[in-house]
């Protein structure tokens, strides 16, 4: 049983490391927008296409399941954990809003630069605050409860799609994002 918890926790932490790389790249493109330079809209599009796909369908659903299991063994935590699904829904809405801003720009719609920057700022802040809370408080709690949690069977509501960028094979639509990430890690 412990092995399953450790494995699920490792997967969640790996997702966070990957998400942090993409949030850093998103931040840099938004900084360009702020300083009135042209951002790489294709890259922005690919980042947000990824962010509104795998993390929402798999990462967040997996966390919802794990936190529900935690609340079942620690009912006192129920109130705190109830915030999570709301957080995930909000992150998904903010991400989809930013993606639709970028799609509108790509299709030639005139958008106020300030509105796009503001939508990006909201998304980045919400996503980072949420991930920090999980990294600092919730993931250590999962670890401390590992002898009590039963995560041996992943329920069907948790998506099973493989990660299209960081998974075993890179999906064609994400080839250039994958290359951009590779260049990023070379530059470090």
**What does the buried/exposed string (b/e) look like for 1-38 if buried means 16 or more CB atoms within 10 Å of the residue's CB?**
eeeebeebbeebeebbebbebbbebbeebbeebeeeee
CB count in 10 Å sphere of residue 116: 21
3-class DSSP state of 102: helix
Which residue, 29 or 63, has its beta carbon nearer to Fe ion?
63
Instruction: Report the alpha-carbon distance of residue 57 to residue 162 in Å, rounded.
Output: 10
Q: Which of 160, 145, 14, 156 is nearest to 67 (CA)?
A: 145
Residue 87: burial class (beta carbons within 10 Å; 0-12, 13-18, 19+): middle
Cβ closest to Fe ion, residue 57 vs residue 105: 57
Residues 49-78 within binding reach of Fe ion (CB under 5 A): 63
> Segment 169-188, which members bind Fe ion (CB under 5 A)?
none
**Nearby residues of 120 by Cβ (< 8 Å), 6 or more positions away:** 26, 30, 33, 98
Q: What does the alpha-carbon distance between residue 86 and residue 26 come to, in Å, rounded to a whole number?
A: 23
C-beta of 9: minimal distance to Fe ion in Å?
A: 11
Quote the least distance from Cβ 161 to Fe ion, whole Å. Answer: 16
Number of residues forming the site for Fe ion (CB under 5 A)? 2
Cβ distance to Fe ion smaller for residue 116 or 130: 130
User: In the complex, what is the shortest distance from the CB of residue 134 to Fe ion, in angstroms, rounded to a whole number?
Assistant: 5
What's the closest the beta carbon of residue 166 comes to Fe ion, in angstroms? 14
Q: How far is the CB of 167 from Fe ion (least distance, A)?
A: 17
Segment 124-153, which members bind Fe ion (CB under 5 A)? 134
For Fe ion, give the closer residue by CB, 59 or 102.
59
**Residue 119 touches Fe ion, criterion: CB under 5 A:** no
Chain positions contacting Fe ion, by CB under 5 A: 63, 134
């Amino acid at each position: 049983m412990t092995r399953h918890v450790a494995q699920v926790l490792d997967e969640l932490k790996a997702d966070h490391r990957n998400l942090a790389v993409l949030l850093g790249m998103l931040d840099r493109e938004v900084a360009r927008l702020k300083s009135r330079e042209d951002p790489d809209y294709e890259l922005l599009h690919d980042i947000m296409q990824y962010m509104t796909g795998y993390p929402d369908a798999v990462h967040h659903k997996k966390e919802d399941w794990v936190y529900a299991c935690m609340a079942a063994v620690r009912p006192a935590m129920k109130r705190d954990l109830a915030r999570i699904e709301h957080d995930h829904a909000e992150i998904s809405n903010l991400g989809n809003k930013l993606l639709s801003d970028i799609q509108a720009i790509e299709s030639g719609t005139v958008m106020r630069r300030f509105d796009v920057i503001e939508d990006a700022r909201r998304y980045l802040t919400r996503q980072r605050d949420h991930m920090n809370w999980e990294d600092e408080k919730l993931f250590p709690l999962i670890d401390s409860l590992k002898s009590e949690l039963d995560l041996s069977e992943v329920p069907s509501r948790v998506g099973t799609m493989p990660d299209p960028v960081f998974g075993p094979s890179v999906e064609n639509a994400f080839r250039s994002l994958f290359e951009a990430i590779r260049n990023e890690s070379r530059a470090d």
